[in-house]
Amino acid sequence: MLRHLLFATFGAGIMYLVTSNISLFDNYQVGQIASFVVVLAGLSLLTGVNGQISLGHGAFMAVGAYTTALLMTHTQWNFILELLSAVGAAGVAGLLIGIPATRLKGPYLAGMTLLFALALPPIADKWPNTFGGDQGLTMTTPNAPGTLSPQEWLAWIQIGGALIVLVLLANLLHSRYGRTLRAVRDDEIAASLAGINVARTKVLAFVISAGCAGLAGAFLGLSTGVVNTGAFPLTLSIQLLAAMVLGGTGSLIGMVWGGILLVYLPQWSTSLSGHFNLGSGVSAYLATIIFGAVLIVAMIAAPNGIQGGLRWAWRRLPGSGSGVGGSGSSAAPGAPTPVLTDE
């Protein structure tokens, strides 16, 4: 706990310097990156550490966002309680999906979570008086203290949430429960023989991961000010999975790289589309196409993602103690390495 808190404090200090010296729009983008880090960290726990694939985390984000928006509209609750309610509602949705998921693996599990992502948007359209229909529901950020701008204050709310989630997950993964998650991923039969309740472990992983997604959805709703089904399309769930793999499956620090890609890649694709005068239809899906292309290249060049590639490069540096001539591994980035979760 102490080591993770020190890392979080150091990260908070760096982010304070960054957010204090950038524009309001850049603060908005930093906040979005922090929001995506939250959902990617939960997805990394579910997929990288526990071995379950989900293509429905965009829907869990929608559950958290709508929960917060409904509470803001109809109650006068404390802001922290509203965020915790978003985590709880998404966690309950994760429980409902996780229970039948214990009997499914691989593409069957991915297919079930994909159906969840497809089935959720029509619910909001069916009851427009409650969920706002196409117009959605509005969300407001609490008043900023002192001389902070609203954008900087919101960015700090999101950064603070991301740091808390990373510290909690890092400690969780170093605990007995973290070892249980990895044991179930590696061999369910051996884990069961060792006395581990495999089904309960997989359900709990789904609940924790969905809760992280719900918090991220609430943060994104605060960023845009409006929650509607268009903010959580099916492509978002696919992009989340791709960003997790690109960042480094199972690595919490790697999810920061994934969040950066999720925020900036659509902007780069829009600029590229405008430069080559591509049609609006191509522009709408260009980010997803680029994600797929980058994912293919990354899986060939660095199967362990960006963080795995950086770790391999660090080990190759002279004097690192684990490069060529060192005492550690000098395997190529394509070689299989244990999934590290201590970041």
Q: Cα torsion for 175, 176, 182, 183, to the nearest 10°?
A: 170
Confidence of residue 275 (pLDDT cuts 50, 70, 90): low
Report the share of the chain in percent with pLDDT over 70: 88
123 vs 176 pLDDT, higher one: 176
| For residue 181, pLDDT beyond 90 | yes
For residue 283, the model assigns a pLDDT of 63
Whether the per-residue pLDDT at 327 is higher than 60: the answer is: no
Greater model confidence, 319 or 321: 319
Amino acid at residue number 300: I
Residue 168 is given by DSSP the state H
pLDDT value at residue 334: 43
> 195 by DSSP, 3-state: which?
coil
Residue 172: pLDDT over 90: yes
How far are the Cα atoms of 155, 261, 265, 272 from residue 275, in angstroms, in the given order?
31, 20, 15, 5
**Dihedral sign of CA atoms 80, 86, 92, 97 in order:** negative
Q: What are phi and psi for residue 226, nearest 5 degrees?
A: -140, 140
Report residue 128's pLDDT band, with 50, 70 and 90 as the boundaries.
confident
Q: Contact 242/291 with Cβ under 8 angstroms?
A: yes
Model confidence band, residue 182 (pLDDT cutoffs 50, 70, 90)? very high
Instruction: Report the half-sphere exposure of 129 (CA within 13 A, side-chain side).
Output: 0
What pLDDT was estimated at residue 40?
96
Residue 341 pLDDT greater than 50, yes or no: no
Rounded to an integer, the average pLDDT of 187-196 is 93
Residue 335 has pLDDT above 50, yes or no: no
Separation in Å, CA 148 to CA 18, 20, 33, 154, 206 = 14, 9, 20, 10, 37
pLDDT of residue 276: 67
Contact 221, 161 (CB under 8 A): no
Least confident of 157-171, 191-205, 293-307: 293-307
The per-residue b/e assignment along 261-296, b for 16 or more CB within 10 angstroms, e otherwise, is: bbbebbeebeeebeeeeeeeeebeebbbebbeeebe
